[in-house]
Chain A
Amino acid sequence: MWKFILRRVLIMIPQLFILSIIVFAMAKAMPGDALSGKVMDPGISPERIEELRDQMGLNDPMHTQYIRWISNVAQGDFGQSYTHKTKVMNVIEDRVWQTVYLSLFTVIIIYALAIPLGILSGRYNDTWIDKAITGYTYVGFATPTFIFGLIVLFLFGFTLDLFPTGGTVSSKVDEGTFAYFLSKLNHMVLPAFSAALISTVGVVQYLRSEVVDNKLKDYVRTARSKGIPESKVYSRHILRNSFLPIAAFLGYEITGLIGGSIIIETIFSYPGIGQLFVTSISLRDFSVVTALVMLTGFATLLGTLLSDIILSAVDPRIRIE
Chain B
Amino acid sequence: MFLYKYYTNINENELIETFFTKLLKSSQKLYKLKLNYQKIIYFIEKVVIKLGGTSMEKPIIQIENLTTSFRIKDHYHAAVDNVSFSVNENEIVAVVGESGCGKSALALSIMQLHSKDRTKMEGAINFKGKNLLPLNEAQLNKVRGKEMGMIFQEPLTALNPLMMVGKQIEENLDYHTKLSKEQKKTRTLELLSQVGIPYPELTYKQYPHELSGGMRQRVMISIAIACNPDLIIADEPTTALDVTIQAQILDLLKSIQQKTQMGIILITHDLSVVAEVADKIVVMYAGQVVETGTVREILKNPLHPYTKSLLHSIPSAITDKSRLHVIEGIVPSIAKMDRVGCRFKERISWIPEEAHEHSPELHEVETGHWVRCTCYQHFHFQDEKGEMITHDIT
Measured CB to CB, the residues of A under 8 A from B are 217-219, 221-230, 232, 236-237, 240-241, 244, 314-317
Contact = CB atoms under 8 A, between A and B. Distances in A.
A244 to B, nearest CB: 7
B160 interface: yes
Nearest to B167: A236
Nearest to A241: B162
B209 interface: yes
Given A224-B144, A316-B207, A218 B154 contact: yes
B175 A241 contact: no
B87 interface: no
A223 B224 CA distance: 11
A227 B137 CA distance: 9
Contacts of B175: 226-229, 232
23 contacts: A219-B157, A219-B160, A221-B108, A221-B113, A222-B150, A222-B152, A222-B160, A222-B220, A222-B223, A223-B160, A224-B113, A226-B145, A226-B172, A227-B144, A227-B146, A227-B172, A228-B174, A232-B175, A237-B160, A240-B162, A315-B162, A316-B207, A317-B207
A219 B159 contact: yes
B312 interface: no
Interface string B74-114: 00000000000000000000000000000000001001010
B144 A225 contact: yes
Counting from the closest, the 10 A-B pairs by CB-CB distance are A227-B145, A227-B144, A226-B145, A218-B157, A316-B207, A225-B150, A227-B141, A218-B158, A219-B160, A226-B172
Contacts of A229: 138, 141, 175
Nearest to A232: B175
B161 interface: yes
A53 B58 CA distance: 101
A226 B223 CA distance: 8
B293 interface: no
B263 interface: no
B143 interface: yes
B166 interface: no
B149 interface: yes
Contacts of A218: 152, 154, 157-158
Contacts of B145: 225-228
A189 B277 CA distance: 68
